[in-house]
Amino acid sequence: MKFIVSTTALLKSLQTINGVVNTNSVLPILEDFLFEIKGGTLTVFATDLETSMSTELKVESKENGKIAIPARILMDTLKTLPEQPLTFKVDNKTFGIEITSETGRYKLTGENPEDFPKIPQPESVTEINLPASSLGHAIAQTLFAVSGDDLRPAMTGVLFQLSPDGVTFVSTDAHKLVKLTRKDVKAAKAAQFIVPKKALNLLKSALPASESGVNVSYNKSNAFFTFENTKLICRLIDANYPDYNAVIPQNNPNKLSINRLEFQNALRRISIYSNKTTYQVVLTIAGSELKVSAQDLDFSNEANEQLTCSYEGADLEIAFNARFLIEMLGVLTSNEIEIELSTPTRAGVLRPVEKDEDEDLLMLVMPVMINA
């Protein structure tokens, strides 16, 4: 088998799917890309058995065939070559590969393509189309709140809830929660599934910035994301997602509005003086003044700042983990944010003041007990 391809085009395609490749796999073939040529189109596959990606590009070739090529040595070679045509020659019997550039020749040994794991095919699937920008935004807004606790598998991914009214994305690690609903995308019937964190990280990196559509199809075991010349397939998390609506407080009489960046920067400064186990910061709200304070009794460190805010409600003192608040404020894009509060022991709800009319975003953060 022989084909000619541009170094830049090949490198760009491989970089899209390279994140799937496991470098310390029990199965050596999982450290390879599978190259398959049909009718002048090269399709490259990568998989870790849980997540698979493929991408297509045009090449010069008069024959069809396939070969498994070690990913790392190929990527390292392509990164150092300038833009030029590369010729690949594959010995179908020994799986030897010879790559010829304008100035050199490189030989490496591939593996039997028949040993490469079979990529799941979309069977008995339901489909929905999402704008790439909307899906990318939803992933960026929810991914940071996903849990890393493997003992609670449902919370290690993002919940996709589809309904005739819209699509809702939910993530939580029991300390913080994000719920984002898009009303401009509707499903024919209600369904829900949990997409793992690794697949979403890969998807976020690969999605185009354009308004092009992403075809999302799913069945009981897998989700298939197809856009432009790329496909991502992932095994869904087989678990029941917790009833997240039960933890969202419905009656929050105290409402605080404040500039997002001013609040975030104050938290960054004050948290330097907080206890390094709890990262506790205390918010004391009275009238139009917000006092942010922290102390670390072990080192006699303390700090406080006064910020101007808009506040409706009774005077209140409540404490949060500063790192969670800073993280949430960093993901939000609105200049002004609103924090809804009820009592010092109930969760605070953050919402952006400026928002897309087709989007409803809610972030929840659990309080911490105020040190006596």
For 37-53, the pLDDT digits (tens) are 999 999 999 999 999 99
Judge whether 106 and 70 are in contact, CB under 8 Å: no
Q: Are 334 and 355 in contact (CB under 8 A)?
A: yes
- The answer to whether the 126-245 and 248-365 domains have the same CATH topology is yes
Angle, CA 87 vertex, CA 86 and CA 92 arms, to 5°: 140
Share of the chain above pLDDT 70, in %: 99
Structure tokens at 39: 């009718």
Q: State the average pLDDT over residues 329-350.
A: 95
Q: Looking at residue 73, what is its pLDDT?
A: 96
Q: Is the pLDDT assigned to residue 23 strictly greater than 90? A: no
Q: Can you give the pLDDT at residue 184?
A: 87
In the chain, what's the furthest Cα-to-Cα distance? 80
Average pLDDT score, the chain: 94
Residue 225 one-letter amino acid: F
> Cα(207)–Cα(232) distance, rounded to whole angstroms?
10
For the chain, the 3-state helix, strand and coil shares in percent, each to the nearest 5, are 25, 45, 35
- DSSP label at 276? T
Q: Could you tell me the strand order of the sheet in which 51-58 lies?
A: 65-70, 32-38, 41-47, 51-58, 230-235, 222-227, 213-218, 126-131
Q: Given this model, what pLDDT does residue 372 score?
A: 52
- At residue 355 the predicted structure's pLDDT band, cuts being 50, 70 and 90, is confident
Q: What mean pLDDT is predicted for residues 284-300?
A: 93
pLDDT of 25 reads 79
What does the pLDDT read at residue 83? 96
Question: Are residues 349 and 362 in contact, defined by beta-carbon separation less than 8 angstroms?
Answer: yes
**pLDDT exceeds 90 at position 210:** no
Q: Can you tell me the distance from the alpha carbon of 268 to that of 250, in angstroms, rounded to the nearest whole number?
A: 29
The pLDDT, as a whole number, for residue 160 is 97
Partners of 56 in the β-ladder: 43
CATH code, residues 248-365: 3.10.150.10
Please write the tens of the pLDDT for every residue from 136-177.
999 999 999 999 999 999 999 999 999 999 999 999 999 999
CATH of domain 126-245: 3.10.150.10
Alpha-carbon span 20 to 70, nearest angstrom: 13
Mean pLDDT of 186-204: 94
SS3 letters for 87-117?
A: EEEECCCCCEEEEECCCCEEEEECECHHHCC
With cut-offs at 50, 70 and 90, classify the pLDDT of residue 357: confident
pLDDT value for 371: 63
- Domain boundaries, given as residue ranges, for the chain: 2-115, 126-245, 248-365
pLDDT at residue 341, as a whole number: 96
DSSP string covering 248-265, please? S-S---EEEEEEHHHHHH
pTM of the model: 0.92
pLDDT value, residue 253:
94
Q: Do the Cβ atoms of 162 and 182 come closer than 8 Å?
A: no
pLDDT value of residue 339: 97
Q: 2-115 is classed in which CATH architecture?
A: Roll (3.10)
